[in-house]
Every structure is written in structure tokens, then in C-alpha cells.
Structure 1
Amino acid sequence: MSSVRLDVLSSDDFDDSRSYSSFIGNNLSEMDQLKRRHTNTLQTQKEGYEPFEPLDYDENGKTQKPARLPVTKLQEIQAFYKEYYDIIHPLFFTFLSFWTRFYLISLSDIVLWDEAHFGKFASHYIKQEFYFDVHPPLGKMIVALAGLIAGYNGGFDFASGAKYPENVNYTVMRMFLASFGAWLVPLAYFTAIELDFSQHAVILATLMVLLDTAYLCISRFILLDSMLLFFTFTTIFFMVKFHNQRHDPFSIDWWLWLILTGISIGCVSSIKWVGLFATALVGLYTIEDLWDKFGDLSIPKSIYLKHWIARIICLIILPILIYMLSFSIHFSILTNSGPGDAQMSSLFQAGLNGNDFSENPLEVAYGSKITVKNMGYGGGLLHSHVQTYPEGSGQQQVTCYHHKDSNNDWIVTKPREAQINNNDTEVEFVVHGDTIRLIHDGTGRNLHSHQVPAPVTKSQWEVSGYGNDTIGDVNDYWVIEVIDDLYTKTNRIRSLTTRMRFRHSLLGCYLRAANAILPQWGFKQVEVSCDKNNNPRDSFTHWNIERHWNDKLPSGGKSYYRSKFLHDFWHLNVAMYTTNNALVPDPDKEDILASTPRQWPIVEVGLRMCSWADDVVKFYLLGNPIIWWSGTASLVIFVFTLLYYLIRRQRKYKDLSPAQWDHFLYVGKVCGIGWLLHYLPFCIMGRVTYLHHYFPALYFSMLMAAFMMDHFTVSCKPKTKNIIFGIYYSLIVIVFWYFKDIAFGINYPASELKSRKWLSTWNIVD
């Protein structure tokens, strides 16, 4: 506003119709009014009024409250929106997110896809039955919590394709888990803000998460994926929030976001081991951050040490404690015997309610029927079956198996040359140093080894089932070597507590099961071999008696033995790792659900989540092509853009300011390295892979797409930028609407989806 000279006025400032005297007459002069108008104008500016609003005056010329110009309803709405848009936007997107995740969620009333697995795990928790699975327990405990909230009593077996009974409120269970998927949208919104995206790019990233049909579909069922994605999103959000506090170290906010990052790492790793990839991203960021601080000579050594200690506590110790806590809760809930017992040590099983170990005779005698448990981490039960080795000796297979059945039963007997006591009352106990035969109860074959290479571990000898009670040779003989007993010193073999080894009497090798997995002809069971190396510390050559039957001996009584938590924790994790590695593709069996990592970024495949019959509500797991293709393209474009800038910077061209360059590199590393960490491991894994394994990596490609659009439109005029982003928004919305039925449910014949088969590899129609 231009200044006005109020102290010097002359008659020339007024027209001829009014004299100077009249201007300064008895009543309030026009000059005073002019002064007051100027003063009140400045005042109204401070009070938030428009600077040129007209003023009201009373009959004495005194000013009143400035008069407001009439304001339309539209202007009021616009003003309200401008003032509160930072609240309106996330609330609006959050509402849409919950609506899309909950809409028609009960349309299909059958058990879909992996609901068959995770619903059963919920049943085990509710019935407190011990089970085994390849994933950590946190996510499955949350599924069980959803069941409790829904009033589920654990009585449904969740058979694949079965119809939910009336007493199973699957809708509430699905909605509870879908809420994790719904929170992805506001998390993406605020993460984009923390990454310093423009408002256009923030909306773009949010729309991608909101309207991706794959994210939408996977969130609407009783699965772990919505929780895995939720904690992946929170980990990245907390990390970037912590990064933005880097100039205010050790403040309350700095500690808050660092601690929350550690908690989120612990949670995401406790859902699935895929969460370790997000942990790796935080780890790489932390290493770079500490390296940069190491080069900052202005930071005192004591302060630098505090940075290390804070990160070790919050980003290493805290996540490990959370991960271990989830297993502690897991063990404390599952106190009853269940289908997963055989994966655990015999002592652990002895502490479960409902097992029959209390019926075991205490000490093993000749003629006893036993099961033999390997004491290595992830060890199973010594097992045999009628199938033979397809190579090597061609004799009957001997393996380690993690499930209880009659093929795990062996009879302890003496060598053929020894006199066997057939007296009905007298018994002869097995002691340290005895030479025995183990006869497979189901087939009558002897546990046998010879100088034939093992099928997988070629450096060791094969172990097989050979002959019978009368046919055989010295290769059927094994020497018992007692290592120790958990509770007493004795040369006798006790159930559960005695650790021992089996040494081949002729070859001198030791019976061993080290989690090497046999091919499909061995049913993916664990190889048993005879180890030429005499390593007393090798726990995979250690065995104990788990089950024991002998009519001549009394029961040992109720066992009060309890194993140690750390041993059980480590044992279960090794078993999970071993079983997970055994999930390899079967070349002899076509898996129409499996896919390869090469197919994911270009949306080459989809996944049928249920029967494709016309009378079934069908769901097809397929991403929004616009989102997936643009996300993949943005990753490639970023690499070439980075190379372009690096070449020009080498030639001393400065396309970006230092602050812009640092931001470009920072966001590029978060999105690019985050994508690589979540994608590349699946390219080198031997296990079978499915489309949903790509979903955490997809998030980083979405952020990269929004970032690159922001980067290349930064110099555009507002109108041009509105048009560019508007077209992008429209394409995402239109394609989502076109494909929405594959996520909400296809309740009509699949033949009507022919127009949606954009690629020949999509098996969306018959």
C-alpha cells in the first residue's frame, strides 16, 4: 500500500468547490478523517481484514468496525479449504481407503486361497495347540485376535474352498485385517510429504496406493500381506521422519522417531522374514548417516559415540527384543500338544499338555520300540518308507521327517550273533558302548550304511534300509555312544534326556541329519547320511529317544521337564529356515499359481485366488497396469537421469543447486535401493515365488514414479503442471474403475472379462 503524506497539505490538494477553511471547519475535518482511515487501514491489516475494505462512520464521523463485503458460499468453502487442506486431503483419502477395503468384503462366503492356512493357525491359537509354520508368529497372532473379536471359537477347519458356517463371522475377521491395508493410504500420503514432494506428487503417490487393484485385493482377506505392507510402510515413514530430525539430534522428536523406527523393524520382521529387507534399508541408511558424521570434524567424539549407542539400542537391540517377544508370547499361548510338535525338541514337547510322554518307560531295553529325534536345530525324526533311492544303492530310503507317523518307529535289537533274551519278565537295558540293530517297524528293514555316496551330501556315505531280521550283514550294526544325560549320570539310555551318537561299527562314521533336503523323489524330507568326520560337538550327529514303548517296563511317570526359551527360540527359527528353503519349484508338477520375479515389474502375470467356475465369486490378483508400468519405467528413468547429471557435473555443469542435488540423491536412494532390496533377493532364491512377493517392492516404485514426475515438472507453469498430473490421475482412476471387479469380486462368468485381457499371459478368462 502506498504511503500518504498526512502532515503537509495545502489548498491545492482540494478542488475549487470546497474551500480550505471548510475542510478544517468545526466538525471533524476531512484531513482527520483521512488520517483515521489510513490508521484504521493499517490496523485492519494486522487484524486480518482486507486492506481496502470500506469503513463505516457514525453521524459524528467516528469510525466503526470495517464493513465486510458480501461473501458467497463458494468463497467461504474455498477459504475453508485453503485453511484446512492439510487436514482435508488425508482425511478424504483415508475415508476412500477404508471404503474401498470394506466394500463388498463379505461377497464371497468361501475360504479363499491362503485363508485356508492362516485361518487354521488362528484356530490353533484359540485352542492353544502347538503348530508349525515357516513365518514368524506375530501376524498369525493378530489373525487369531481378529478371530476372537469376531467371536470365533476355533472349531472350523478352514478347508480350502469350504463355505464359512454361520457361527464363523468371517466378515469381521476380514474387516479387521483389511484395516491394516486401509492405513497404507494415509501412510503413503504423509511419507510423500516427509520426502518433500510437491502437493501434486503427494496426491499421485497416494492415489497409486489407494487405487492399485493388487493392494486392494490382497488386503480384503484373512492373510498376512496387509500387515506386512502396513509395517513396511510404517518403517519407511518413521525412517524419513527421523531423517528430517537430523539437524536436531537427541531432541524428543529425534528419539521418538528413532524408537518408532526400531519398533516398526521388529514388527515387520515378526510378520514375515521379508521384513528383513526393510530392515536392511534402514541399516544402509544408518551406515551412510554415521559415515557422514564420522567425516564431520565439528562433532565431538563423545557425541559421535552417543549416535552409535542410540542406533545400536533402538535399531538393533529393540527390534531383536520385539522379535523374541513375539516367540515368547507364541510359546506361552500354545501350551497344548498339536500338529507341529515334531518340529521341536523332545524336551519342549514334554512340557506340552496332552502329549503321552509321561507313558514312556524311563530306560530303553532290547525289544523296545522307539522313535529317534535328531537334536540339531531343525532336526526331525528318523524315518523310513517303502520307496527306494532312484540312484546309488537303490535300497530303501532313510530320511528325517518332521511329522509323527508310524514310519518313524524302530525296534531296538541285538546283533544277529548275540543271544536274545526271550524271557517275559527279565529285561536287558541298552547301555553306552552296546552294538545294536535298529529294525524299521513298518517294513522290517535294518538301518544300514555302506560305502555308497549319499544322494545329496556326496562326501558322506549313504544310509538306507536293507534286509530283514534274518537277512543282512555287519553293515546293519551301530555302536551307541552316550554323550551325557540332562538330569543324571548314567550309562543307560533314557527317554528324552540322554544325548547319544550312533557310530557305524564297520565304517566308523556317525549317523547324521544336517537339514540337507532331498529332491521330490524323497518327498523333500531331510537327508540322513553317515558322516566320516568324528566331530563330537556336531549337534546334527546327536540323537535322543522321544517315544518309547515296552510292555515289560513301567511308565516313567509325569514329566516336569521344561526346555530353555533360547534353545526353543533358536531351534524353531532354524526349522523355519530349513522348511522355507525346501519350498522349491517341482519340475515334475505344474504350479499355475507360481510366477517368476522377471514377470512381476511388467505385470506379465496375475493369480487366480479361487475356483474359476461361473457360479463362484472370483478374485484375480493383478495390479493396476498404469501404476505398475509407470513405476517400473520410473526406476529405469531415474538411473538414466542420475547418469546424465553425473556426466554433466563431471564437466562442471550445475543443473541442480547443492540442496536440490542432495534431495535428488536422498529420495533416489530411498526409493531405488528400497526397491532393489525387496526385489533382487527373490531373483536368487531357490524357493517357489508368487506375485504377492513383489508387493513391498512395488511401494518403492510408486514413490519413485511420483518423485520423477515431480522432478521433471518442477519448472512447468502451474496450469501446465495441473494438466500433466491431471492426465496421470485420470488414467489411474479410469483403469482402476475398468478393472475394479477383479478386486471387489467377479460374480458373473469369467468369459465376460475378455476385454480386460490386455496381455496373453493373463489367465483371467478360461
Structure 2
Amino acid sequence: MAARAQTTGVDAQAEELRRRGGPGQSSQSGPSAVAQAPTVEKSKEKAFSVISFLDEYEWVWAPLIFTALAFFTRMWKIGLSPIVTWDEAHFGKFGSHYLKREFYFDVHPPLGKMLVGLSGYLAGYNGSFEFKSGETYPEELNYTFMRLFNAAFGAVCVPLAYYTAKELNFRRPTVWLVTLMVLFENSYTTISRFILLDSMLLCFTFTTVLCWAKFHRLQHDPFSPEWGLWLMLTGVSIGCVCSVKWVGFFCTALVGLYTIEDLWHKFGDLKMPKVELATHLAFRVFGLIMIPLAVYMFSFFMHFLILENSGPGDAQMSSLFQANLRGTEVGKDSPLEVTYGSRATLKNMGYGGGLLHSHHQTYPEGSAQQQITCYHHKDANNDWFFYPNRSEVDYQPEEELRYPGNGDVIRLIHAQTGRNLHSHQIAAPVTKADYEVSCYGNTTVGDTKDHWKVEVVRDAASRDYSKIRTLTTAFRLKHTDLNCYLRAGNVNLPQWGFKQIETTCVKENKPRDVYTHWNVESHWNDKLPAGDPGSYKSPFLQDFIHLNVAMMTSNNALVPDPDKQDDLASQFWQWPLLNVGLRMCGWDDKIVKYFLLGNPIVYWGSTASLGFFALLVLWYLIRWQRGYDDLKPADIDQIHYAGVYPVIGWFLHFLPFVAMGRVTYVHHYYPALYFAILCSGFCMDWVTRKLNKQVNWILFGALYVTIIGLFWLFRAICFGMEGSHTQWKHLKWFSGWRITD
């Protein structure tokens, strides 16, 4: 009986195992099956617990794997090419200026270049290398470390993309897709491996989007510590991205549009107390305006603090700023007060203004007299003599000192040619509304059209305007016959004027127009004792504004030269289509070659997603108009914030390059590409949301394999092409991909 009961129990256990789909389905029965059953159950439970663990902590192990791969792709063989590659010639040189503490000028804000300087400092570099394009790095310069420093910013973009996709409420396969599109994007990989600003620009663009997404997800918990933290981190990220390149202002515009919409909705919520609404506004003003502005200005404060020595960019700044640099010649041993017979240079006080200049060349039209321009470089053609007007006693070298001042009428005589600064009723060569300014006659030949009245605007050294003082006196020069004012705006002359700044006599009297303000920068007079005009400091805010306007002016001047063929430049329409690439160095067989080109599936897929998203929105709008109720509030919110805003981000980063006239290159598209990738992630997430799990993984798996496969196919353009370029002819899919030409 006991045996029968035991057998019956065994049979019952075997039947239960068979019912659960376990080993009970085997033909075995009896005591041996009972012995196996607990072992199988334990193994299944163990496997289930591992899967559950991996599933629960996917947000930890997945980004770790992606980040490890990111550092590998961005850093493997990074020191293979020992030559200065592409724009390393610019940004490496700027880093050298920080190490030598020499003041320089560039069209980009200083944060990224200070970080390049920091990488050189950490690498033990002394700043002595000139970074000439194509030149081999010296042995004492650890260029590999400097590249690794930059590559770290590019690698960090991958986990940032991962967590951003999660914050946008994408499902796991989509989060992985977005991350892989960033990780295995060939152009992101290549651009991160050199001493450039683009990896830093991308990194701070990614942090801005992540912080914005985190802040948006916390809208249900306003004024909490976490909410305030992510608001302020968004502001810090905005400040950083703008401090690397001005492209960052497009990110600022994206967050600004979101903030305006958010506050508008709150303004329409009649249940919200007015005090709470005002608090929301105050927090956003502080977090998204004050903090970014503080970060941006602090980067310039550090820029001025570090660059304390005179350098190649001095002429872009005011004379008073230059006089406070170490080693400068501006104001050095210059007499403080100007007299007749003094030899001096006159600096235009407009933002980015140059020195009053002339040369032997004449205007090709108009008066055909000697050209007058403004010029940023220092040479003898910038020197002028102060002389009395023709109705006064002529200047004699032996005479007693006479000091021109406010209200006096003077002549300015060009030191190299002996001609007078002159104007007449002839239209200026470019700004036709103004009068032309030229050099005419000599010390004896001339007329009253050589006369200019001094109008002092201010003086940093004294309230006594009876004398013109070196550096400290700001004055205007009014033409006595024409009642116009000497002005040097930011208009460049054609090639016949050597692209120097046009100088005119403007008819409108605008006392606050700084482009009509001048000061004496350098001054020589043996009869006068040396002064110390550099003891007067230039205010930081004035220097900050001055440099930013000068940067803007120079940036706008970067227009294509019709007389030169730029093989590296490209047009905006070519970027989303991946129609063109960019050679980053020479194409000789003896050097390592790099080609800036994107992953085809990432580019074409992200571009196609922009069009698909527009059709998707149009589809739902039509159905909504027809009375269909397809979307729940949660769906609308997802389309709005995970779909519409990435598309807006793409437009904000792409359309300005359509409108601007400056020369453009393929890397200008990289910030916009990220928003297109986010849009493609939304589209895939939306289309596949109702498919079963198996079909989902098949579709996403195919995309993963394609992305990784194409990255591997084009890996040589990222990691370096050694030997003859003809061995990569299989990669030239289009004529614009000049890999083998």
C-alpha cells in the first residue's frame, strides 16, 4: 500500500511537470523523473531570475556597454596620424595661445578653445608648436593625449543619447536604436578624434536636450529640489554650448520656445494662483536666462584673465584694452597729450574697428584719389601727423607746443605719402549714401576740404576736453565743409581695396554711433615726456560687448570668395542627403587619410523620418478634422514633446545655414543630425508600438545589424586609411564621396 501510494505521488508530480511544459514531457517516468524535476525547476528559476535582473537593471548595464563601445570607437588608433589634420591647425594654435597667455582673436567664443588649451597643459605641452596644416607633430608634443581629451567629449554623447531617449519615453528597442545611431555614426566618430571644437559642441548640445527632457518629465512636481536642479542644469548646459560655438544659440531657441509655450499654458490656467505663476516665471528667468548668461560671460572673463600678454589679436580690441596687455607697444612710452606735429595712429572705436589707414593705391572709380581704409594690422601706413588748418599759422618744428582740443579744426597728413585726409561730394565706393574719403594734396597743396573739426565725446582721464589724450580721449572728426563725420563701419571693400574696411564720411549726425568715434592709439613726439596711459583700465563689460560684436562682424565676413575654388565647402541641401563628404587631409599614399562622411542608414533614415513625421501629423490632423478620435491625451503629449520638439530642433539648427551667406561645410550639419536621429527614434517607436514583441525585435534587430554593418564597412574613413586610396574604391558610392579621386 505504501509503495502504491508512493508511485501514485510520483505519477502526479510527473503529470504536473508535463502540464507546465517541463521535463515531464519525456518518456521517462518513475523515481528517476522525480529526481530530475527539482533540478530542472531550480535551473528555470535561476534563468528567470537572471533575465529579470537584466531586465530590471537594463538602465545600468546597457549604457555601460554602449559607453565602453563609444570610448573604443572614438579612441582606437587615435594617434595613428602624426600630422596636423584639418582644423587642428586653427584650434591647436588657439590652445597654444592660452598656454603662452597671448591675446588672439577668433570668431568662436572661448570655452572650447580654453579646453583645448587645458588638454595641452595636461599633456605637458608648452605652446611653442605653430600647428601648421599638414606639418608633423614634434616628439615632445603629446598630440595623442590632446586628441584623447577631445574624444572623451564625443564618447560621452552616447550615454547622453541613451538617457535622453529614455526621458522621451521611448520603448527599450527604440532607446537602443537611437543610442546605436549615435554610437555608430561614422561622422560623429571621425570628428571626435581630432583637436577640434565639434565634439564639445555636440556634447553640450546633448546635455542641453537631456536636461530639458528631464525637466519636462518633472512638470508634475514643480518647485521640488529635483525640478529646480534640472532647470538650473539646463541653464548651465545652454551657457556651455553657447560658449563653444554660436550654433549653441539655436539650442537656446529650442528651450526658449518650449518655455514660452509652457508659461503660456500656465497663464491660461485660471486655477493657478498669480503668485505661483509669477514664481514659475522667476525660476525660468533665473535658470534659463541669468545662469546661461553668467556662464557665457564667465568664459570671457577667464579668456581675458588668462590672455594677459600681447598677441596677434590685439588690434580687434580697444586701444585702452591693448595698453593693459603685457608686452604691448600700444601706449608704450607714448606722450599723454597730443600736439601739432605729433605722429600718431587713430583707432576706430566701433566694435571690431581698425586703424585709420592709407596706401599708394587709388580708387578705381569716383575721385580716383588715394584710398582711405581701416586696417587691423599694424604698419607704417597707419601713421598720421596732426597739423593745424590752413587758416592758422603753419606748423614749425621749432615752435612752442600747441595742443588741439575740443572744437579745434585740424588737418591729418598721411606720414608715408604726405597727403591730407580729404572728403568731397562724391559717393563712397560701397556705401553710396555716404561721401568718399580719400588722401589728396600735400602740406602746401590743398583746400578746406582737408579740414576736420574735433568733437570730444568723453575722456577716461579728465573732464578737461581742451586737449586730446592718448588712448583715453574719444573724439569725432566732423568735415567742416560737408558737415559729415568720419566713419568706419563693418563694410569691406572689394579685392581692389584688399578687403579692408571702407571708411566714409557719413551725412547723418549720430553722436552715439561708435563707428564715428576715434582715439589716438600710439603717439610719438620727441618734445613730450612719456606718459602712462595704460594705467587706465578698460571695463570688462565694455570689452565683453566689443569682442562679441567683433566676432559677429568677422563671422559675417566669412563669405565664399568667387575668385577661389574651395573644394572642401558644401551646400546645405547636400548634408541631409549625404551627397558629399570632406577630405580632412592630403590624399598622398604615404600619409594616413581621413574622410568625413556619415553612416548612410543613419543619414538617410533620419532625413526620411522628418518627411514621415510631417505626413504622420498631417494624417492625424485630417482625421481629427473629420471627427475621428484616434489619439488619447497621452498620445498627443508624446507626439508633441518627443516628436514635434526634435523636429523644431532640427529646423532651428538647419535653416539658418540655408539663409546665411557664409561659407559652409559638412560638419555644420552635425548638431541638426542629432535632432533628426531623435525624430527617427520617435517614428520607429510610434509605428511599432502595436506590433507583437517578436516582430518588433526582428525589425529593430535588422536595423541594429544594418547600422553596425555600415559603420564597420566604412570604418577605415574613421580610423585612418593607410596606403593607396584606390583600395577603398568600393566605398565611393557617389561622385561627391571623393574617397578615391
Using the size of structure 2 for normalisation, the TM-score is 0.92
The CA distance in 2 between the partners of 1:468 and 1:207, in whole Å, is: 72
Answer yes or no: is 1:270 the counterpart of 2:243: yes
How much has 1:424 moved relative to structure 2? 4.2
The CA distance in 2 between the partners of 1:729 and 1:16, in whole Å, is: 59
1:434-513 matches, within 5 Å, as 434-488=408-462, 489-513=464-488
Among 332, 336, 342, the alignment partner of 1:362 is 336
The one-letter amino acid paired with 2:338 is V
Call closer, same or farther: CA 1:592–1:465 in 2, change over 3 Å.
Answer: farther
1:180-579 matches, within 5 Å, as 180-356=153-329, 357-415=331-389, 418-424=392-398, 426-488=400-462, 489-557=464-532, 559-579=534-554
How much has 1:220 moved relative to structure 2? 0.7
Among 652, 660, 665, the alignment partner of 2:627 is 652
The one-letter amino acid paired with 1:289 is D
CA contact 2:587–2:593 (8 Å) conserved in 1:
yes
Answer yes or no: is 1:170 the counterpart of 2:134: no
Call closer, same or farther: CA 1:85–1:16 in 2, change over 3 Å.
Answer: closer
Number of the residue aligned with 1:741: 716
Local SS of the residue matching 1:226? helix
Number of the residue aligned with 1:45: none
How much has 1:440 moved relative to structure 2? 2.2
Local SS of the residue matching 2:43? coil
How much has 1:207 moved relative to structure 2? 0.8
Number of the residue aligned with 2:94: 121
The one-letter amino acid paired with 2:211 is F
Among 564, 576, 580, the alignment partner of 2:555 is 580
Percent identity between matched residues is 58
CA contact 2:341–2:395 (8 Å) conserved in 1:
no
Shifted more, 635-644 versus 402-411: the winner is 402-411
Residues 563-604 of structure 1: CA distance to partner in whole angstroms, max 9, x if unpaired? 111111111111111111111111121111111111111111
The CA distance in 1 between the partners of 2:359 and 2:241, in whole Å, is: 40
The CA distance in 2 between the partners of 1:325 and 1:16, in whole Å, is: 88
Number of the residue aligned with 1:5: none
CA contact 1:360–1:549 (8 Å) conserved in 2:
yes
CA contact 2:336–2:533 (8 Å) conserved in 1:
no
Call closer, same or farther: CA 1:264–1:154 in 2, change over 3 Å.
Answer: same
The CA distance in 2 between the partners of 1:289 and 1:432, in whole Å, is: 55
Local SS of the residue matching 1:71? helix
Answer yes or no: is 1:179 the counterpart of 2:129: no
Call closer, same or farther: CA 1:286–1:484 in 2, change over 3 Å.
Answer: closer
CA contact 1:380–1:402 (8 Å) conserved in 2:
yes
Number of the residue aligned with 2:691: 716
Answer yes or no: is 1:141 the counterpart of 2:114: yes
Local SS of the residue matching 2:489? coil
The CA distance in 1 between the partners of 2:364 and 2:48, in whole Å, is: 82
The one-letter amino acid paired with 1:264 is S
Q: Structure 1: which 5+ runs fail to align?
A: 1-13, 19-29, 38-49, 53-65
The CA distance in 2 between the partners of 1:643 and 1:109, in whole Å, is: 52
Shifted more, 128-137 versus 73-82: the winner is 73-82
How much has 1:80 moved relative to structure 2? 4.8
Call closer, same or farther: CA 1:16–1:561 in 2, change over 3 Å.
Answer: closer
How much has 1:627 moved relative to structure 2? 0.7
Number of the residue aligned with 1:690: 665
Local SS of the residue matching 1:123? helix
The one-letter amino acid paired with 2:685 is D
CA contact 1:479–1:502 (8 Å) conserved in 2:
yes
Local SS of the residue matching 1:695? helix
Shifted more, 526-535 versus 692-701: the winner is 526-535
Residues 4-24 of structure 1: CA distance to partner in whole angstroms, max 9, x if unpaired? xxxxxxxxxx99978xxxxxx
How much has 1:282 moved relative to structure 2? 0.2
Q: Structure 2: which 5+ runs fail to align?
A: 14-21, 25-37
Residues 504-562 of structure 1: CA distance to partner in whole angstroms, max 9, x if unpaired? 12211110122223334433332211011222222221111000112222211473110
Residues 240-290 of structure 1: CA distance to partner in whole angstroms, max 9, x if unpaired? 000000111111111111110011111111111110000000000011111
Number of the residue aligned with 1:662: 637
CA contact 1:618–1:747 (8 Å) conserved in 2:
yes
Q: Specify the structure having the higher radius of gyration (Cα).
A: 1
Count of aligned positions: 714
Answer yes or no: is 1:598 the counterpart of 2:570: no
Call closer, same or farther: CA 1:463–1:70 in 2, change over 3 Å.
Answer: same
How much has 1:695 moved relative to structure 2? 0.6
The CA distance in 2 between the partners of 1:434 and 1:568, in whole Å, is: 30
How much has 1:100 moved relative to structure 2? 0.6
CA RMSD, 1 decimal: 2.5
The CA distance in 2 between the partners of 1:439 and 1:594, in whole Å, is: 44
The one-letter amino acid paired with 1:429 is Y
How much has 1:432 moved relative to structure 2? 3.0
Call closer, same or farther: CA 1:686–1:520 in 2, change over 3 Å.
Answer: farther
How much has 1:77 moved relative to structure 2? 5.7
CA contact 1:370–1:545 (8 Å) conserved in 2:
yes
How much has 1:155 moved relative to structure 2? 1.1
How much has 1:144 moved relative to structure 2? 0.8
CA contact 2:320–2:534 (8 Å) conserved in 1:
no
Shifted more, 263-272 versus 547-556: the winner is 547-556
The one-letter amino acid paired with 1:677 is L
CA contact 1:520–1:586 (8 Å) conserved in 2:
no
Local SS of the residue matching 2:438? strand
Shifted more, 66-75 versus 213-222: the winner is 66-75
How much has 1:94 moved relative to structure 2? 0.2
1:51-62 matches, within 5 Å, as none
Answer yes or no: is 1:678 the counterpart of 2:650: no
Among 63, 79, 93, the alignment partner of 1:90 is 63
Call closer, same or farther: CA 1:190–1:447 in 2, change over 3 Å.
Answer: same
Call closer, same or farther: CA 1:726–1:443 in 2, change over 3 Å.
Answer: farther
Local SS of the residue matching 1:183? helix
Call closer, same or farther: CA 1:715–1:426 in 2, change over 3 Å.
Answer: same
Shifted more, 159-168 versus 478-487: the winner is 478-487
How much has 1:79 moved relative to structure 2? 5.4
Shifted more, 277-286 versus 490-499: the winner is 490-499
CA contact 1:340–1:403 (8 Å) conserved in 2:
no
Number of the residue aligned with 1:102: 75
How much has 1:310 moved relative to structure 2? 0.6
Using the size of structure 1 for normalisation, the TM-score is 0.89
The CA distance in 2 between the partners of 1:730 and 1:361, in whole Å, is: 74
